[in-house]
Amino acid sequence: MCGIVGAVAERNVVEILLEGLKRLEYRGYDSAGVALLQSDGSLTRVRRTGKVQELVDAIGEDEALGSTGIAHTRWATHGGVTEANAHPHVSDERIAVVHNGIIENYQTLRENLSAKGYRFTSDTDTETIAHTVNEAMKTAGSLLEAVQQAVTQFHGAYGTVIMDKQDPSRVVVARSGSPLVIGLGLGENFIASDQMALLPVTRRFIFLEEGDVAEITRRSVTIFDKQGNEVEREVIESNIEHDAGDKGGYRHYMLKEIHEQPTVVRNALQHRLDEKGLVADVFGSGADALFEKVKHVQIIACGTSYHAGMTARYWLEQYANVSCNVEIASEFRYRKSVVHENSLLVTISQSGETADTLAALRLAKELGYMASLTICNVPGSSLVRESDLSFMTRAGAEIGVASTKAFTTQLTAFLMLTLALGKYNSMSASDENAIVQALHSLPAKLEETLTITQGIEDLAEEFADKHHSLFLGRGDQYPIAMEGALKLKEISYIHAEAYASGELKHGPLALIDEEMPVIVVAPNNELLEKLKSNVEEVRARGGIMYVFADKDTAFASDDTMRVINVPHCDAPIAPIIYTIPLQLLSYYVALIKGTDVDQPRNLAKSVTVE
C-alpha cells in the first residue's frame, strides 16, 4: 500500500528518497512521485505512473536537486492511476504533501475549499490536506501551527508529511491511523511510513503515536501529542537485517522466502522451546500467570494471517482444551459480538499495521477482553505497541506480497501458544510431548519437504493454462487448502476456491470436469479414509486431481490423479509441512504465466487502509 519517505538534510536527498521508495516497492503501489525544496526556495515536483524506475528515469533527465524532500508510492483509493493523482500534491505551488490513509470527509472539505477559491487538479482526498494547510497558513504563525490546526478538520486516517516552499529547513508530519516513523541521523533527519525505507541511512527510530504531530529539522525533532503537549518518545535501535536489493541468488523474493522457512522457523523456536518443553513466559513477562485464567481465545486477523488463526483453532480445541473463535478483522470490527468469560484476544499479523486488525484490537479493548496478545513479525509495529502481550515470529523482512515464511512462523507460534495454554487446561502429557517433539523436528522436516520442488515444477506445467481450481482439505488441513488457494489466486490470477472436502457434495461437485483441477492435501491422519471417499467422488465425475500425500497413504498416480509424495511428519506439524508444496505450486504456476510474482497486480503488502 502507499509508502512515504522524507528527509531534511544538508546534502541532496534525491538518492535517499528514491532508494527509500525502492525499498517500499514491496508494499504494492501504482504510481510514484517526489517533491524537493532547495535552500533558495525552489520547489521541484516529478511524478510518474508505474514503477519507481519510471520516476528514477524521469528525474535523471531533470537532474532534480533538494536538501529537503518528500516522496511517495501511491496505491490508488480515491481517483484512478494517473500522474495527476500521484503524490506529492501541492497547493499554490507552495505547500507540498504526501499522505497515506483516507480523509473520509474530503468531499465536504473540497466543497469548502473550492468555495474559497482553491483549484483542485486531482481526484484525490489528499489534495484537500495541501489546501487545508495552505488555508491555515493564513492565520498560523508557522507550518507546525498550520498543520496542528488543519488536522482537527480531518476525519479518517492519515500519515502525512508536509513541507512549505517558503521554509525549506523543515517538514511537519502528522499521524492518525497510518504509521509514521522518524529516522534520526547525524545532522539530518528522516521520516517514513516503514523503517525499511530508511535502513540505509539510520538504525535509530522513533515510532510516532496516534495523534502525534512532529516538526523535523536537520538538527531537531519536536513531537506534540494529540492534546498539543510537547512529548518525548522512545528512541529504538533497529536490528532488522535487510538488504532490499538482495534476493540471495533467487529469481524472486518469494522463492527466497519460501526457502528461508527452515531457518526462520528454527529462529522462532530458539530459546523458547527446550528438550523439556516450552520455556516459562515466552509470550511475555507475566504471560503464564495470565494464561492460567484463560478459558477462551478469540483470534482476529486478515488474509493469510486469518488462515493461521483458523488452523490454531483446531489445535487449541483439540490439544489445549480451550474454546476458540476465529474471525476476519473487517467483520469483527463492524458487528456486535459477545465476549466470553476469561477470553484472551489474539491478533495475528505479519506487518502489525493492517488497518482492520488494528481497529479490531482497539474495539476489543473497549469490549472487555481479559488481555490482548499479538503474534506479529514486525517489532515496534502498531499492533505490538498497542497489545498487552506480544510474541514476535522472527520471520525476518518479508518482501514478497504473497506471505510465505510469515505464515509458517505464525503457525509455529500458535503451536507454542497451544502448549502454553494447554498447561492450564488439562492437556494430556502425550499430546504435550507429541507437540514438543514435532516442533523440534520441524526445521529439518521443512528442509526435507523443500526438496520435492522438481515434481511440483512439472505439475505446474499442466496447471498453468487452467482458469479455475479447487483446493480440498479436511480438519486442520482445511485452512491449509484455503491458504493454498489464496496463494494461487494472488500470484497466478487463477481463480481458486478451497473447500473442506466433506462439503463437496453440498454444492461444489457440480463444478467438477477436466477443466477444473482439484488439489488435495492428504496427510496420513485419522481423516484419511474420509478424504479418500471424497477423492472417489471427484474421480467418479471425471475430475483431474493433484494429490499431495504422505507416502504411507497408498495414493497412486493414474490417468485421473497425479500424486506428489510429501515426507512423513508428526501430526501436529502436518499443516505447516503441507503448506510448502502449495506455496511452491503457486510460485511455479505464476512463473510459467509470467506474472509479477513479488508484486502481483492490485495488491499491497501492508494494508494500512480499510
By CB under 6 A, name the binding residues for ligand AGP. 302-305, 349-351, 354, 357, 401-403, 490, 606-607
Sequential DSSP letters for 310-363 = HHHHHHHHHTS--EEEEEEHHHHTTS--PPPTTEEEEEEESSS--HHHHHHHHH
CA atoms of 310 and 327, how far apart (whole Å): 8
Per annotation, catalytic residue among 2, 302, 324, 569: 2
Known catalytic residue at 324: no
Minimal distance, residue 304 CB to ligand AGP, in Å: 3
Minimal distance, residue 444 CB to ligand AGP, in Å: 26
Residue 549 or 589 having the CB closest to ligand AGP: 589
Residue 179 or 303 having the CB closest to ligand AGP: 303
Residue 250 or 424 having the CB closest to ligand AGP: 250
Minimal distance, residue 521 CB to ligand AGP, in Å: 18
Beta bridge partners of 175: 159
Minimal distance, residue 490 CB to ligand AGP, in Å: 6
Minimal distance, residue 580 CB to ligand AGP, in Å: 15
Tell which residue, 13, 67, 17, has the closest CA to residue 42.
67
Helix, strand, coil content of the chain in percent (nearest 5) = 40, 25, 40
Measured from each CB, the residue nearest to ligand AGP is 303
In this structure, are residues 499 and 548 in contact, taking their beta carbons and an 8 Å threshold? no
Per annotation, catalytic residue among 51, 256, 487, 605: 605
CA atoms of 336 and 334, how far apart (whole Å): 7
φ/ψ of 239, rounded to 5, equals -115, 20
Residue whose grid cell is 516497492: 25
In this structure, are residues 182 and 221 in contact, taking their beta carbons and an 8 Å threshold? yes
Minimal distance, residue 486 CB to ligand AGP, in Å: 6
Residue 97 or 402 having the CB closest to ligand AGP: 402
In this structure, are residues 162 and 172 in contact, taking their beta carbons and an 8 Å threshold? yes
CA atoms of 469 and 491, how far apart (whole Å): 14
Known catalytic residue at 605: yes
CA atoms of 163 and 149, how far apart (whole Å): 15
Helix (H), strand (E) counts: the chain: 18, 27
Residue 202 or 351 having the CB closest to ligand AGP: 351
Residue 73 or 189 having the CB closest to ligand AGP: 73
CA atoms of 276 and 287, how far apart (whole Å): 19
First to last CA, the chain: 11
Tell which residue, 295, 362, 351, has the closest CA to residue 329.
362
Residue whose grid cell is 506439524: 573
Beta bridge partners of 172: 162, 215
Output the CA–CA distances (angstroms, integers) from residue 97 to 105, 149, 416, 508, in the order listed: 17, 16, 45, 50
What is the Cα gyration radius of the chain? 25
Residue 148 or 350 having the CB closest to ligand AGP: 350
Question: Which region, left, alpha or beta, applies to residue 397 given φ > 0 means left and ψ of -120 to 50 means alpha?
Answer: beta
Minimal distance, residue 510 CB to ligand AGP, in Å: 28
In this structure, are residues 322 and 421 in contact, taking their beta carbons and an 8 Å threshold? yes
Residue 28 or 69 having the CB closest to ligand AGP: 28
Minimal distance, residue 402 CB to ligand AGP, in Å: 4
Active site residues: 2, 605
